[in-house]
Amino acid sequence: MRWLSAVPALRHRNLRLFFAGQCISLVGTWMQSVAQGWLVYRLTGSTAMLGLLGFLAQVPVFLFGILAGSLADRYPRRRIVLFTQVNAVLQATVLAAVTLTGVVRPWMLLVLVCLLGLSNAFEIPARQALLGEIAGEDMPNALALNSSVVNGARAVGPALAGWAVATLGEGVCFALNAVSFAGTIWALAVMDVPPARPHHGSRRGHLLEGIAYAGRTQHVRALLALLAVTSFFGLPYLSLLPAFAKDVLGGDARLLGTLQACAGVGALAAGVSLLLRTGLRGLGRRVAYGTTALGLGLAVLALSRRPALSCAALVLVGFGFLTQAAGTMTLLQGLAPSEMRGRVMGLFSTLFIGTTPFGALAGGIAAARFGVAGVLLVGALVVLAASATFHVFLPRLRRTVLAQYPTLFPPQVT
C-alpha cells in the first residue's frame, strides 16, 4: 500500500501497536497538563505557584534521568514502560477524585504532579529506546512519526481541555486522562519484543560509561548544550501561559486551550515535515533553524497583546521547538551505538525535560516581579543568541560527524 511506502515504520506490527496506544493516551496527557495549570492558577492566582508546579512536574527527570537511562539499557524496556504507565493511571485517578469531590488543595496538586514526574523520569528514556529498538532500520521515520503523533495530540488535547474545563471542570479532564492509558497498556502487553540482552558489569560503571560517551563525542556535547539552553530559557513559556492568557490577553480557559493548541499545530507541522524526509542528512541544519524559529516566536509572543497574533507566534514556537527537539533526538539515537541508546536518551531527557523545571521556577518567580511578557522576551533573546552560536559551529560539527560516521551519509554531503 502507498501509505506504507510513505511511512515505512508502520510496516512493523509492534510499531503499529505502539502508535495506536500513543494516539489515545497522549490526548489525555495534554488535557491533564492544561487542566492542572489552570486549576492551580484558579486556586492561587500566583505565577510563582505556576512555576513551582512546572518545577515539581519535571525536576524528577533532572534528578533521575541519567540513572533511568542506565536502567533502560540494563533491564527490559517494555517492562519499565508498562510499570510507569500503570503508575500514571493511579496518579490521574487520584487527581480526578479529589478534584471532582471538591476537596482538592494546591498542595495536593503539587504532590501528585511530583509523583507523576518521578514516573516520567523512568518512562521517557525507556520508551524512546524501546521505540528505536522495535523500529530497526526505520528508526528515523519512526521517531518522526512519533513526533507527529505527540504533537497531533498536543493540538487536539489542549483544545478539548479548554472546552472541558470551561464547561465541565478540571476533574473531568483528569478522569479522561486516566481512562486514556488503557490503549497504551494493552498495546505494550501484546507486543512481541525480543528479550533484552543481559549486561555484565557494575551499575556504576555502566552509568559512567554513558556519561563518558557523551563527554568525548563532540556532536553529542553540542546538541545537548543547545537543548539545555532552550529548555531553561525557552520552554518555561508553557508554565506561564495560564497567566499570559488571563492577565495579558484577558482570556479564560478556552483561550488557554487555543493557545496551547496553536503551539501543537506548529509542532505537528514540524513533525510531518520530518516524517517526509529520510536518513540523517541535513538534520543538523534543521536543528539550528528550529532553534531560531523558537526564539523568534517567543519574541513575538512576548510583545503581543492580541490573541490572534499570540496564536500565530505560538504556531512558530511549536514548529521551532519540535524541529529542534525531534531533530536532536533523531541524531542522538541514529548516531549512538544500540547498546548506548538508553543512556543517551537518559541524558537527553535530563537536559531537555529536566532542565525546564528550573527555568519554569525561575520564570514564575521573575514574572511575579517583572511581568510575564518581560520574562518571555528575555528567554527569547537568550535562545536566539544560542541559535546564532550553533549556526557558527555547525560546519565544524558536520565535518566531524562525516569523518566519524562515513557510511551513514551519502558521498555528496559536505
Within a domain: 413: no
Identity of residue 310: S
Q: Report, as an integer, the average pLDDT of 377-383.
A: 94
pLDDT per residue over 383-409, tens digit each? Answer: 999 999 999 988 888 887 777 665 555
Res 336: pLDDT: 73
The boundaries of the domain holding residue 318 are 2-190+203-406
> What CATH code is carried by the domain that includes residue 167?
1.20.1250.20
Q: Report, as an integer, the average pLDDT of 257-267.
A: 84
> Which segment of 80-84, 358-362, 372-376 scores lowest on mean pLDDT?
358-362
Within a domain: 156: yes
Q: How confident is the model at residue 291 (pLDDT cuts 50, 70, 90)?
A: very high
Task: Give the residue, 74 or 91, on which the prediction is more confident.
Answer: 91
Q: Report, as an integer, the average pLDDT of 176-194.
A: 84
Within a domain: 411: no
Q: Report, as an integer, the average pLDDT of 327-342.
A: 78
Task: State how many domains the chain has.
Answer: 1
Question: Within 10 Å of residue 348's Cβ, how many Cβ atoms?
Answer: 28
Res 158: pLDDT: 72
Q: Report, as an integer, the average pLDDT of 297-303.
A: 93
pLDDT per residue over 71-85, tens digit each? Answer: 887 888 888 888 999
Within a domain: 196: no
Q: Which residue has cell 514502560?
A: 81
Cα angle 365, 253, 46; round to 5: 20
- Whether residue 243 is predicted with pLDDT greater than 50 in this model: the reply is yes
How deeply is 277 buried, as exposed, middle or buried, from its count of CB atoms within 10 A (0-12, 13-18, 19+)? middle
Within a domain: 414: no
pLDDT per residue over 92-143, tens digit each? Answer: 999 999 999 989 898 998 999 888 888 888 888 888 878 877 776 777 777 7
Q: Report, as an integer, the average pLDDT of 155-161.
A: 74
| Mean pLDDT, rounded, of the chain | 81
Within a domain: 195: no
Res 194: pLDDT: 67
- Whether residue 381 is predicted with pLDDT greater than 50 in this model: the reply is yes
- Whether residue 279 is predicted with pLDDT greater than 80 in this model: the reply is no
Within a domain: 412: no
Rounded alpha-carbon distances, angstroms, from residue 177 to 218, 259, 321 = 40, 20, 24
Within a domain: 391: yes
Q: How confident is the model at residue 315 (pLDDT cuts 50, 70, 90)?
A: very high
- Which residues 6+ apart lie within 8 Å of 171 measured at CB? 96, 99, 100
What pTM was estimated for this model as a whole?
A: 0.72
